[in-house]
Amino acid sequence: MNPPHLVLPGREGLTLLLLHSTGGDERSLLPLARALRPGAHLLSPRGESLEEGVPRFFRRHREGVLDLEDLRAKAQGLAAFVEEALKGYALPRPLVALGYSNGANMALGLLFHHPHLLDGALLLRPLEPFGKPYPLLKGKPVLFLLGDQDPLVPPETATALRERLEGAGARAEGHLLPAGHALTPEDLALAQGWLARVFPPGPQLP
């Protein structure tokens, strides 16, 4: 069964996979995605785990301690859905994940368990879930943005993520911003600039 989801057509050959945070849904990241890349196609599923009645993409044992087995299982289901959606909706590649918080961790789960699915990832306030080497991500661009006052993500996550991603061959770029868990205008500017630089806008589709 496919999760509840939205597909919004775009005008260029790029698809953003939107992965919301805890308590969000398939509409939560639409304004951010349109601000970052107005012409992109958008594929936005709702997380299928529930925590105290609100959606997530996978379970956690407690704050900051992720259920890695559930992450693996949910990543498998999400990857199958995305592959089907790309074909069924005729969505173009490159496919870039835009994930926030729990959604950013799910994007890392896709990179770890299904490394060929994504062509890049933009990670907002992720943890580093795995603590071990990633599979080969040769040349895959990944941007991660963290806050140095984030109560949910320790600052040392920046070093761990860079080491894991670069060790797998990814083109990792990370920034530790003067911010908490909430996003700031600096997040928006950095993310927008990275997308434009790494995935330059192509010809507009009719």
Catalytic residue among 21, 28, 44, 150: 150
In the numeric block, the tokens 């870039």 are attached to 96
pLDDT at 196 (0 to 100) = 96
Tens of pLDDT, residues 34-53: 999 999 999 999 998 877 78
Question: Residues 99, 104, 108, 114: is their CA dihedral positive or negative?
Answer: negative
Domain ranges of the chain: 5-198
- At residue 64 the predicted structure's pLDDT band, cuts being 50, 70 and 90, is low
CA 192 from centre of chain: 14
User: Cis omega (within 30 of 0) on the bond before 151?
Assistant: no
pLDDT at 206 (0 to 100) = 59
Question: Higher-confidence residue: 119 or 58?
Answer: 119
pLDDT of 182 > 90? The answer is yes
pLDDT at 22 (0 to 100) = 93
Q: Which fold has domain 5-198?
A: Rossmann fold (3.40.50)
Of 59-73, 150-164, 185-199, where does mean pLDDT reach its minimum?
A: 59-73
Catalytic residue among 5, 114, 175, 181: 181
Contact 17, 118 (CB under 8 A): yes
Query: pTM for the full model?
Result: 0.95
pLDDT of 27 > 90? The answer is yes
Look up 114 and say whether it is catalytic: no
Instruction: Provide the 3-class DSSP secondary structure of residue 9.
Output: coil
Look up 28 and say whether it is catalytic: no
Look up 101 and say whether it is catalytic: yes
Of 59-63, 69-73, 77-81, 93-97, where does mean pLDDT reach its minimum?
A: 59-63
Catalytic residue among 28, 44, 49, 101: 101
pLDDT at 61 (0 to 100) = 75
Tens of pLDDT, residues 111-155: 999 999 999 999 999 999 998 999 999 999 999 999 999 999 999
- At residue 72 the predicted structure's pLDDT band, cuts being 50, 70 and 90, is very high
